[in-house]
Amino acid sequence: MNHDMSILRLILDASVLVQLVMLSLLMASVASWAVIFKKRRLLGDARQAADEFEKRFWSGGDLSSMYQGLSRSGQPTLGMAGIFESGFREFGRLNRQDGLTSAQVLEGARRAMRVAQLREVDRLEQSLGMLATVGSTSPYVGLFGTVWGIMNSFRALGNVQSATLAMVAPGIAEALIATAMGLFAAIPAVIAYNRYAEQVGRLELRYDTFMDEFSSILQRHLRRPDQQPLET
């Protein structure tokens, strides 16, 4: 007896449950690849924006002018620029208030920068959990489809007098496709998650370093008259 052992034929001849497993794994793979490409662009833009802002920040210009330029842009300020804008705005507001100590002014500015940093990190980490879920669960989903398909193949053998390899080979082959699809969905998701999580961690470290350096600059300018420029 000749059997068509092409992958497409094996998928079409699989049981409904195994086909549903394959479909779910295919959808998970497509979704994870969409996230992979989106996060690649997002993190690349975040690194480039941090590089450009640091270059401008340490160029020795007037930080007040830089802040005003960011405020007048009309665009949401993200990344390191957003941390700077939040800290500078809070510093200027508190520094003009009476009754506050220098430590309270500086702590308020740092608190505002920390909030902006947490929001930025949350934005960068968005959808990474989906990659982790796909990477950790897809092999087990595929294994479930494989076990179910093999079980059906052996159940069919109970209705025949003489079993041959040719009788069970198609059923086992179609079941193993589910495992292969599970691995196909999981491996890129795991690799991307580890890589992007590391990149987010590096960006978070850069933000922490910038906050410390900017706090030192603000500390040197505490209680200075508004007409004096604030520079790095």
DSSP letters of 210-226?
HHHHHHHHHHHTTT--T
203 within domain boundaries: yes
228 within domain boundaries: no
104 within domain boundaries: yes
Q: CA geometry: angle at 131 spanning 125 and 135, to 5°? A: 145
pLDDT computed for residue 163 by the predictor: 57
Q: With cut-offs at 50, 70 and 90, classify the pLDDT of residue 5.
A: low
pLDDT at residue 175 tops 50: yes
- Tell me the mean pLDDT in the region 149-167: 68
pLDDT at residue 17 tops 80: yes
Other beta carbons within 10 Å of 62: 12
76 within domain boundaries: yes
214 within domain boundaries: yes
Containing domain of residue 15, as a range? 7-220
pLDDT computed for residue 230 by the predictor: 61
Pick from 116, 119, 117, 135: nearest CA to 35: 135
Strand partners, 231: 62
Share of the chain above pLDDT 90, in %: 52
Query: From CA 202, how far away is CA 199, in angstroms rounded?
Result: 5
- Tell me the residue type at 92: G
232 within domain boundaries: no
pLDDT computed for residue 4 by the predictor: 57
Share of the chain above pLDDT 70, in %: 85
pLDDT at residue 1 tops 50: no
In angstroms, the Cα distances linking 25 to 21, 60, 171 are: 6, 53, 19
* Domain total in the chain: 1
53 within domain boundaries: yes
3-state SS, one letter per residue, for 60-116:
CCEHHHHHHHHHHCCCCCCHHHHHHHHHHHHHHHHHCCCCCCHHHHHHHHHHHHHHH
Read off the pLDDT of residues 187-229 as tens digits, 9 standing for 90 and up: 999 999 999 999 999 999 999 999 999 999 888 877 554 445 5
226 within domain boundaries: no
Q: What is the mean pLDDT of the chain?
A: 85
SS3 154: helix
Read off the pLDDT of residues 105-118 as tens digits, 9 standing for 90 and up: 899 999 999 999 99
Inter-helix orientation angle 102-125/79-95, to 10°? 160
Taking the model in full, what pTM does it have? 0.82
Query: From CA 188, how far away is CA 29, in angstroms rounded?
Result: 9
Contact, 202 vs 72, CB < 8 A?
no
